[in-house]
Structure 1
């Protein structure tokens, strides 16, 4: 049977470090109906769910480095919004070292939300295998393409539908386009994302979902499979910049057939304004932006978006 996945970008529900900047109500609820309408709802958990712990030494200077710590009690909001699986493969997963990673995984397990990217093993959710990649030392590395392909082939043994998510690419409004070749940011190799995405599809992945640049990027159809190169900021409260394209977001709905082939998709446009949290966007900025970026970067390989965000 066909299956629909609702995917979003970065989710960070506020931080209590270095000082408390936390919302008073569940900022995810305006998108809950869209997430729950899908068979599986996916997002990137941008930072640990953690009580206490010690900040990673390299991020201890709050004036010059970003580190996030969301209290574990806020995990309930993820469950209320309808998330089934969250990636923990990103550059903030270790903001509070091993303590943060362990508490995050325990909290998600308690809430019956699957975690992707904590290891190279695929996470099965309703028969779909999820893999998460980043550029850190605790998750599978997207720069190791041959190793990534091997993990996809292994996951393919457990499911006909393998979804790959990655946290990569340079960050900010200047990096909305997907370049050819590798990207770097502050001296860190952030991946050759076209090469990576094509390689994991060649190995058997049926859908690739990107996040990391904090802005939306274009969509590409490659060998009958969809690649979303970045779904941007989705629900990022407090310290994230939401100016300009940083505040334009969406819920991406993708339907796959039994073999994993792309059937149809839709962009549900949303927007964030400070201090953060998604709201429906009647101006449909996300549709217009993704359409323009897709056509500019991928030409004939870009899906054709209708004015309401649908594409086949």
Structure 2
């Protein structure tokens, strides 16, 4: 009799566990429990609050890690974004911000906790703001995020992961090369770099900061883009070239607006993820305030794109992202992808109501 009772209890518990697993897999997390996929949550430009030129930092309720959207963001193998500025409590600004053509930020070091608590595993430092406060600022950034378990990405700083038995790396590119960024403009050089890493890693992810900026920069063009006289690269040519060289996923940022997406030779390319969390100092007018979290599934067998789940966002007047029930970013991404890239994306939209509270 005791054996029968034990068998019944064991079978009952097994059924309950199976039902729970199936229930969770049905909630926008297809593949999350499957060893065949790499799941990466990707966001765009992130500036957590600044102590320069004036102090503007979020109150506790609006700090990144306290936002409901973090539940979706953090549920991935890798959480990645672009860190738009140094994390430092010191340093001298190296930009002439009085010209009106340059902006500088300096995030207090305590705000680095927000990235860690939100689940970030890697952040790009290959951009035009990472050295706003020179070497002091960027070295502080690297130090502060590294001690919180977040890997810097850009140039010689390559994020490395061992996920489900596969070696994964993230490379960072920007128009002007340094030890903190590989060159976006040297396309042949970029191909050689990607090819060399593909020989050592199963999955190679390329992050780039490029293209013009602002509302007029939503549309993709197959030519070099200029912004205030700077060459910001031909991002379509760059993205296609690095995929040809072996990249499995390409993530763009920098224009501060969403741009189209496509699947090229089986690999997913997002040309600009827009502004994610940009506290004060940034325009929150349309379309700069429309953004998204993209959760991308990549096959660990061949590096090919499997699916993308999108959480549509809209920033409030302070640049804090909130769930956008109108799903404006979905409509915008579809429109831009079709018109600029002749690609019709098939997005899975996350359960918005579940993430409102």
Closer, same or farther in 2 for the Cα pair 1:238/1:282, shift >3 Å?
same
Secondary structure of the structure 1 residue equivalent to 2:64: coil
Provide the residue aligned with 2:298 in structure 1.
256
Matched, 1:162 2:204: yes
Residue in 1 aligned with 2:15?
none
Q: Distance in 2 between matches of 1:35 and 1:109?
A: 20
User: 2: distance between equivalents of 1:30 and 1:309?
Assistant: 13
Asked if residue 98 in structure 1 is aligned to residue 143 in structure 2, the reply is no
CA contact (8 A) 1:287 1:309 kept: no
Q: Is contact 1:169–1:183 with CA below 8 Å preserved after alignment?
A: yes
* Equivalent in the alignment of 1:42: 80
Specify the alignment match of 1:130 in structure 2. 170
The answer to whether the Cα contact below 8 Å between 1:221 and 1:302 also exists between their aligned partners in 2 is no
Q: Hey, what does 1:116 align to over in structure 2?
A: 153
Kept in 2, the 8 Å contact 1:122–1:155? The answer is: no
What is the aligned partner in structure 1 of residue 89 from structure 2? 51
- 2:45: which partner in 1? 10
Query: What pairs with 1:74-89 in structure 2 (closer than 5 Å)?
Result: 74-89=111-126
341, 345, 349: which is aligned to 1:298? 341
SS of structure 1 residue aligned to 2:183: coil
Distance 1:302 1:22, change over 3 A: same
Encode CA deviations 1:173-229: one digit per residue, 9 max, x unaligned: 111011111101000000101100000000000000000000000001100011100
Q: Which runs of 5+ in 2 are unaligned?
A: 1-35, 352-357
Stretches (4+) displaced over 6 A: none
Instruction: Give the TM-score taking structure 2 as reference length.
Output: 0.83
What residue number does 2:215 align with?
Answer: 173
Structure 1 position 93, deviation (Å): 0.6
Instruction: Tell me if the contact between 1:218 and 1:228 (Cα under 8 Å) persists in the aligned partners.
Output: yes
Alignment of 1:55-66 (within 5 A): 55-56=93-94, 58-61=95-98, 64-66=101-103
Matched, 1:289 2:325: no
Query: Whose radius of gyration is greater, 1 or 2?
Result: 2
* Structure 1: gaps spanning 5 or more residues: none
1:219 corresponds in structure 2 to 261
CA contact (8 A) 1:84 1:125 kept: no
Is 1:121–1:151's contact at 8 Å kept on the other side of the alignment? Answer: no
| Residues 47 and 278, structure 2, Cα contact 8 Å, conserved in 1 | yes
Secondary structure (helix, strand or coil) at the match of 1:205 reads: coil
The 2-side partners of 1:302 and 1:295 are apart by 5
> Partners of 1:128 and 1:22 in 2: how far apart?
34
The question of whether the paired residues in 1 share the 8 Å contact of 2:222 and 2:236 is answered with yes
Using the TM superposition, give the Cα deviation of residue 64 of structure 1 relative to its aligned residue in structure 2, in angstroms.
4.8
Q: TM-score, normalised by structure 1?
A: 0.94
Asked if 1 retains the 8 angstrom alpha-carbon contact of 2:308 and 2:347, the reply is: no
**Structure 1 Cα separation of the partners of residues 73 and 311 of structure 2:** 11
3-state SS in 2 of match to 1:279: strand
